[in-house]
Chains A and B, each alone.
Chain A
């Protein structure tokens, strides 16, 4: 690290990190590791194996590969994360960040407030609002001038929209901060040369804030991956299994069917996916850094 004050490992750093390490190990890493172990056992919510469970080796893993609903759920998770987090939130967040930078003061104040409040709202409130918004007789069906049950007709589309609505504010904050860090002189120079606003944005602004965009995508992806309350309250994973993303399926196996072990394994899959994303992120930011150097 370039900013080191102390040159070698020191006890002070360790002491400062101690609260964080203790808390994370005891209440975060510990439970996660335990969940990895539980994923390979036959622990059940109730019944003979509720307390007297044991390690079952590859049994749950065998089941996982043969579970057609798991693969379906994995696909739905990919769609949900890609459509809402990567495309939706980033594009909408970027559009908001750019527009707000150039809009008149009162409008950016009002719209900024609405969008950020939408993000800050408790997930339960957001889910209720979107359920009411998209059900028969809700605002969406009235806009279409019909009694269409939008939520049950296009369930995945609606939960993606809801997730975009509830996360775009965060994305906007991150990207706005990135846009502000772009040196004014660079943009001015671009404009002087007669380039259009769009060209300046694409060829100057975007490359400069690329690290911010990548970070934002990663964060929004992780937040969406772990999203449970929104879909659970809106559809419960249904109708059928149409919105049964992995966190929901994991909950269903563990706490509806009572198969805690298998449910934990499904949760572990989410952890592994998150790890892969984080790893990819480091690779990408390293490449970006090298390209910049």
Chain B
């Protein structure tokens, strides 16, 4: 776990080790303080872990229910939810999330660069507008979007992925624009001297340096689409294209509620997100600096 979120990435600035400073401070007080800090954090960690107990227990319990009980061990639930159409739904979720994150990240890199480096009329107004778009409930857009999609025969996985990408775009744009603001301009000047085109500058100069924020945007879009529930429920009409959350929702709404299967499938469905976290935690953590994102 050396790549944890808490290991400071060099790109995020100097390591503040304020706690190591006054060496003359009594070591007893230091130790007491460190005990309190670690104790409090451990307590918070336990509190955050507690709700997760159920999903682990129920997924391997013959008599699973909503209640927490020591499981009578079985792997039947996992066998049940790794059959054909459950796996298909996960592959669909993956495709949906890839389309969504590609759409939002590519658009946001280009747009973010323009907003960060170029003179854009009404840029501040645009940023604020984009900002509040983050707070719009999807439920109110779903009917208009459905009507448009139905008109153009777009009620499928791919078009839904594009819609979900657009839903994440405001925040992705914002993250990437902020990340690019921090990239020193001298780098670009050098490239400009060598007659590089704007696109080349973006791809080979700005993007590599702003990578943490781009990763953050990518992951944000990915997990947003991965967790999306209402849009795929409404916008995907082909049975062979339904996604993981819809499958879980079907299990809950079924006349025969199979708690163990719900828990087991939720675990499997959540796993990629955890893997993503482990793989990406380092670039991810640096990408969330968003100090003065909007200029007054």
Contact flag (A, B; Cβ within 8 A): yes
A106–B1 touching, CB < 8 Å: yes
Give the complex CA separation of A286 and B173 in angstroms. 21
**Which residues on the B side are within 8 Å of A152 (C-beta)?**
none
B16, B41, B145: the one contacting A184 at CB < 8 Å is B16
Q: Is the CB of B227 within 8 A of A122?
A: yes
B34 and A137 contact, CB distance less than 8 A: no
**In the complex, how many angstroms separate the beta carbon of B118 from the nearest chain A beta carbon?**
3
Contact in complex: B173, A20 (CB < 8 Å): yes
Q: Does A206 contact B (CB under 8 A)?
A: no
A250 within 8 A of B: yes
Chain A contacts for B48, CB-based, 8 A: 111, 114-115, 118, 165, 168
B-facing residues in A200-231 (Cβ within 8 Å): 200, 209, 211-212, 215-216, 218-219, 221-223, 225-226, 228-229
B119→A108 contact, CB < 8 A: no
Are A270 and B137 in contact, with the CB atoms below 8 A? yes
Check: B166 CB closer than 8 A to any chain A CB: yes
Closest to A187 in B: B18
The reply on B82 being an interface residue by CB < 8 A is no
Is B188 engaged at the interface, CB distance under 8 Å to the other chain?
A: yes
At the interface, yes or no: B215 with Cβ under 8 Å from chain A? no
**CB-contacts of B153-182 with A (<8 A):** 162-163, 165-167, 169-171, 173, 181
Assess the A27–B132 pair: CB atoms within 8 A.
Answer: no
Is B210 interfacial (CB 8 A cutoff)? no
Chain A residue nearest in CB terms to B3: A109
The count of chain B contact residues (Cβ–Cβ below 8 Å) is 122
Question: Does A228 lie within 8 Å of B139, measured CB to CB?
Answer: yes
Type the 1/0 row for A251-278, where 1 means its CB is closer than 8 Å to any CB of B.
1001100001001100110110111011
Tell yes or no: B108 within 8 A of A by CB.
Answer: yes
CA distance A4 to B132 in the complex (A): 25
Q: Which of A116, A180, A228 contacts B281 (CB 8 A)?
A: A116
Note all chain B residues with C-beta closer than 8 A to A271: 132, 135-137, 140
Residues of B within 8 Å of A138, CB to CB, are 54, 66-68
Q: Is the CB of B166 within 8 A of A24?
A: yes
Report the bound CA distance from A157 to B18 in whole Å: 37
Contact with B along A1-42 (1 / 0, CB 8 A): 101111111101110110111011011111110110010000
Instruction: Report chain A residues within 8 Å CB of B15.
Output: 180, 184
How many contacting A-B pairs (Cβ < 8 A)? 384
Residue-wise, chain B 104-133 has the 8 Å CB interface mask toward A (1 for contact) of 001110110111111111011000111111
Q: Assuming the A-B contacts A1-B119, A174-B290, A187-B18, are A24 and B296 also in contact, with contact meaning beta carbons closer than 8 angstroms in the complex?
A: no
Q: Is B84 an interface residue (CB 8 A)?
A: no
Task: Give the one of B69, B119, B173 with max A CB within 10 A.
Answer: B119
When distances are taken between beta carbons in the complex, the residues of chain A under 8 Å from B245 are: 122, 124
| B74 interface contact, C-beta 8 A | no
Contacts of A12 in B (CB 8 A): 114, 118, 198
Q: B167–A177 contact, CB under 8 A?
A: no
Query: Shortest Cβ distance from A51 into chain B, in angstroms?
Result: 10
Cβ-closest chain A residue relative to B126: A17
* A103 at interface, CB cutoff 8 A: yes
CA distance A102 to B120 in the complex (A): 42
Contact A222 B134 (CB under 8 A): yes
Pick the contact of A107: B45, B53, B123 (CB < 8 A).
Answer: B45
Question: Min CB distance, B151 to chain A, in Å?
Answer: 13
Q: Which residues of B contact A122 (CB under 8 A)?
A: 223, 226-227, 229, 244-245, 269-270, 273
Asked whether B249 is an interface residue with its Cβ less than 8 Å from the other chain, the reply is: yes
User: Does A129 contact B66, Cβ atoms closer than 8 Å?
Assistant: no
Q: Indicate with 1 or 0, residue by residue over B220-256, a CB within 8 angstroms of chain A CB atoms.
A: 0001001101100000000000001100110010000
Q: Is B141 close to A, CB under 8 A?
A: yes
A38 touching B143 by the CB < 8 A rule? Answer: yes
**How far does the alpha carbon of A253 sit from the alpha carbon of B219 in the complex, in Å?**
34
Whether B68 lies near A27 (C-beta < 8 A) is no
Is A228 a contact partner of B138 (Cβ separation < 8 A)?
A: yes
B18 touches A274 (CB 8 A): no
Q: Which of B17, B33, B41, B131 contacts A278 (CB 8 A)?
A: B131
A182 at the interface (CB under 8 A from B): yes
CB contact between B273 and one of A14, A99, A117, A222 (< 8 Å): that residue = A117
In the complex, the answer to whether B292 meets A289 with C-beta atoms within 8 Å is yes
Let me know if B33 and A228 touch, CB within 8 A. Answer: no
Residues of B within 8 A of A267 (CB): 137, 139-140
B63: CB under 8 A from chain A? no
A-B contact pairs, 15 of them (CB 8 A): A1-B123, A13-B119, A111-B42, A111-B44, A117-B277, A120-B274, A125-B269, A135-B66, A138-B67, A183-B14, A184-B14, A187-B16, A215-B291, A215-B293, A270-B137
Chain A interface (Cβ < 8 Å from any Cβ of B): 1, 3-10, 12-14, 16-17, 19-21, 23-24, 26-32, 34-35, 38, 92, 95-96, 99-118, 120-125, 128-133, 135-139, 142-143, 165, 168, 173-174, 176-184, 187-188, 191-192, 197, 200, 209, 211-212, 215-216, 218-219, 221-223, 225-226, 228-229, 233, 246-247, 250-251, 254-255, 260, 263-264, 267-268, 270-271, 273-275, 277-279, 281-282, 285-286, 289-290
Extra pairs beyond A30-B144, A102-B19 (5, CB < 8 Å): A32-B133, A122-B270, A138-B66, A267-B139, A270-B137
Closest 9 CB pairs of A and B: A137-B67, A267-B140, A286-B296, A274-B135, A222-B135, A13-B118, A122-B227, A20-B111, A109-B4
